[in-house]
Amino acid sequence: MKQKRDLLSLVEFSPEEIRAILTRAKEFKRSRLHKERKIFSNKTGVLIFEKPSLRTRITFETAIHELGGHAITLTSDMVGIGKRESAEDVARNLERWVHLIVARTYSHSTVEQLAEYSSIPVINALTDTFHPCQALAFAMTLDEYYGGKKKKKIVFIGDSNNVCNSIMVLCAKLGLDFTVACPPGYEPAPQVLNMAAAIAVKSGAHLAVSHDPAGALAGATALYTDVWTSMGQEKESEKRAKDFAAFQVNKKLMALAPADAVVSHCLPAHRGEEITSDVLDSERSIAFDEAENRLHVQKAVIDLLFS
């Protein structure tokens, strides 16, 4: 019997498996609605959302549907993990009815518990610590723009949040250089940074933390940014706006990057805060291509977990 696999942080996947996901995602994109592989035929996936969602919900529901399956979406008030019912009990119930759990939660430990106590695959659709599907979509989009033509350097500008963590892990796995440029006090958590650094030793990736966004851009292939205040941090928004004021991705900052460097954002964007509209809507922006590619990489992840 095949051993159950989960996607929780990308750490659990080998570089070869990550590359296989990206290759499969490109195949899904090329063949969409023509010769779709019905790997999820007659199966049901449950999507649990503790946080609001546009891209994640639509792309996962569409992915499951186009792979031949059925999606059920549950909001936080319908499940109440940790309040109405423990993650352990939720997992043990769902495994008896459905075939896949996709969870978008605050605490990363919630998806870990769902994975631990269920016999069916669990996909992390975003936690406060990691957002692996977003990182995979970014990697796919970079491949579409650059292929394997050059050694890539990714510069993440802003808060060292879940998206930053996942892109850092992805870069460490694939041997891509990565720099996070953030204000003092907003560096990646030591345990995440140390884990990524240990992975980077094997791949040859160079990881760095900088407090100088302009200086970090030397040799950059892509700039990445995200909101300064993530969901659950709303009480810190005023302080964060001041702390991150010098880290806005705007035309002035883009002018300091190599001429062929692209820029991305996981969306939703707070236009005029972490990124200006003239940059997000420019020809150098790959943010909306990346959003589209969420659909294809998530199909590829499901394909890997059920093949």
Give me the CATH code for the 134-290 domain, please. 3.40.50.1370
Using alpha carbons only, give the angle 184, 190, 193 rounded to the nearest 5 degrees.
Answer: 95
What amino acid positions are annotated as catalytic residues?
104, 131, 134, 226, 266, 294
* Residue 1's pLDDT band (cuts 50, 70, 90): low
Sequence spans of domains, the chain = 38-130, 134-290
- Structure confidence at residue 190 (pLDDT): 97
Instruction: Fill in the amino acid letter for 130.
Output: F
Share of the chain above pLDDT 90, in %: 88
pLDDT in tens, 70-96: 999 998 788 889 889 999 999 999 999
Identify the H or E element spanning 167. helix 162-174
Tell me the longest C-alpha to C-alpha distance in the chain.
Answer: 56
pLDDT in tens, 15-47: 999 999 999 999 999 988 666 668 899 999 999
Residue range 172-185: average pLDDT? 97
Tell which CATH classification among 3.30.1280.10, 3.40.50.1370, 3.30.830.10, 3.40.640.10 matches the domain 38-130.
Answer: 3.40.50.1370
- Structure confidence at residue 64 (pLDDT): 97
Using alpha carbons only, give the angle 209, 131, 21 rounded to the nearest 5 degrees.
Answer: 105
Would the pLDDT of 98 be above 70?
yes
* Residue 3's pLDDT band (cuts 50, 70, 90): confident
Does the bond joining 268 to the residue before it have cis omega, within 30 degrees of 0? Answer: yes
pLDDT in tens, 121-170: 999 999 999 999 999 999 999 999 998 766 899 999 999 999 999 999 99
Would the pLDDT of 234 be above 90?
no
Average model confidence (pLDDT) across the chain:
95
Q: Which of 303, 301, 306, 307 is nearest to 12 (CA)?
A: 301
* Residue 233's pLDDT band (cuts 50, 70, 90): confident
- Structure confidence at residue 148 (pLDDT): 72
* Residue 66's pLDDT band (cuts 50, 70, 90): very high
| Intrachain domains 38-130 and 134-290 with the same fold | yes
